[in-house]
Structure 1
């Protein structure tokens, strides 16, 4: 049973569901369940969620929340993101507590990956 009054699910827009799915499958090994032609869901990825067909995308510049992944091997994860078609919009940089990079997936949604390892 989901925890009372805790974040349970997240949904993102996607202007190209097949490209978004292919990216997350290749970069992070996700699997999806389609619910019709305009919605696909993922689970067991730290937080369950889905992508819905939309013309917009979520970026920090337009006020979107930044979802941040964790990686034990930051450079390797960045390479996988690039190989899967992600665009690095902020290369690896240091911040108090670790390092991270930010990227967009094929539909333009912005994400980050961080590591506390050097």
Structure 2
């Protein structure tokens, strides 16, 4: 259901839509709907969104927003991300309330995964 004036959709650039889709399919079991050769959408992942063809990428070091996944088992999720071709750019670290790591997917977009579950 769409909620009035609430976040509803997010879009990311992708220099390689096929590699981006393959990564998210393998690491997080996402499915996609293609809307032409330059756009693909995902849904049912907590927030719906899509990827559009672009040479740019979303990276927090450049001031971009950081989208953060939640995991019940951070080490298992880190292994899945790595096995799917994600590059770990900040290994697991602790912060008040939990632990997290950051990764980039094949098109260079940065994401993080956090957990409040102790190892």
Report TM bin, short chain: over 0.9
SS of equivalent residue, structure 1 residue 52: strand
Instruction: Supply the RMSD in Å over aligned alpha carbons.
Output: 0.5
Residue by residue, what CA displacement relative to the aligned partner does 1:84-112 show, whole Å, maximum 9, x if unpaired?
A: 00000000000000000000000000000
Q: TM-score, normalised by structure 1?
A: 0.99
Count of matched residue pairs: 118
Q: TM-score, normalised by structure 2?
A: 0.98
Structure 1: gaps spanning 5 or more residues: none
CA distance in 2, matches of 1:96, 1:23: 30
1:91 aligns with 2:88: no
Structure 2: gaps spanning 5 or more residues: none
Residue by residue, what CA displacement relative to the aligned partner does 1:37-78 show, whole Å, maximum 9, x if unpaired?
A: 000000000000000000000000111100000000100000
Q: Any residues of structure 2 matched to 1:96-115 within 5 Å, and which?
A: 96-115=96-115
Q: CA deviation at 1:2?
A: 1.1
SS of equivalent residue, structure 1 residue 12: strand
CA distance in 2, matches of 1:52, 1:6: 22
Runs of 4 or more above 2 Å deviation:
none
